[in-house]
Amino acid sequence: MAWTCSGNSNRELIKNLKRENLIASDEVEQAMLSVDRGKYCLDEYRGAKAENASYQDRPLPIGHGATISAPHMHAQCLELMLEHMKHPECRILDVGSGSGYLVACIASLISQRNSPGAAKVVGIDHIPELVEMSIKNLKSDRSDLLDDGYAEIHEGDGYKGWAESAPYDAIHVGAAAPSIPQALIDQLKVGGRLVIPVGPQGGDQWLTIVDKKAGGELSKTKYEAVRYVPLVPKQN
């Protein structure tokens, strides 16, 4: 079904995702419409010469062994976290933020309900070149999200999270870990949700939903089988 969602423009791509019910809510639709995926892909995948690859519903390389996930996966993850991103002054963490696309979508979404400075998404990536690229991409596409404090991106170790802004209402991880990092569980707010692909590279991986209940009890659900690049720790 997902391959039928590809389009020749960002609007066409998002409308196709909505048509196939991969986007279920108006909030996620508006957020993804307001962020141009093409600006978060490499130049070689943009424009007519590339057959508008940046608007196809498939993952694409962004350099340094990393990828930007397929749009339907980003849509699904946004929907899975949506109720946790509606809280006033919510804090969201995006681990393995890559080219910055999902950070921009989340920032756009939380800006619908919060005044500047009241809520934010933090993106972290262990590759400094991708951190630099992602900030450049946001400045090109949605500089207001940086200027108004809805988004910030840092170099960091995904296995360690980003304690400075914890606890988080929702945490998204854009690469597969062999097991769920304890630091991410510790940084998740009670009542919060972690969405993470779990499993070995080349083996069975599951997009896993972790909900933190009262008292710290965890509810874990295998949502769907997936294939992601591995979550790599930052090298010292």
Say what the pLDDT of residue 235 is: 79
Say what the pLDDT of residue 4 is: 75
Kindly provide the b/e burial profile for residues 151-163, where b requires at least 16 CB atoms within 10 angstroms of the residue's own CB: bbbeebbbbbbbe
Three-state SS for 202?
coil
Tens digits of per-residue pLDDT, 111-158? 998 888 889 999 999 999 999 999 999 999 999 999 999 999 999 999
Res. 177: pLDDT tops 60: yes
Say what the pLDDT of residue 236 is: 65
pTM: 0.96
208 and 222 Cβ atoms separated by less than 8 Å: yes
* Single-letter amino acid code for the residue at 15: K
Tens digits of per-residue pLDDT, 90-122? 999 999 999 999 999 999 999 998 888 889 999
Kindly provide the b/e burial profile for residues 192-210, where b requires at least 16 CB atoms within 10 angstroms of the residue's own CB: bbbbbbbbeeeeebbbbbb
- Report in angstroms the alpha-carbon separations of 214 from 84, 117, 137, 188, 191: 15, 28, 39, 12, 7
99 and 86 Cβ atoms separated by less than 8 Å: no
Residue 58, token pair as written in the block: 């498939």
Say what the pLDDT of residue 3 is: 56
Higher pLDDT, 202 or 60: 60
Average pLDDT of the residues of the chain: 94
**Which positions are annotated as active-site residues?**
69
Q: What is the mean pLDDT of residues 41-49?
A: 88
Q: What is the mean pLDDT of residues 201-214?
A: 94
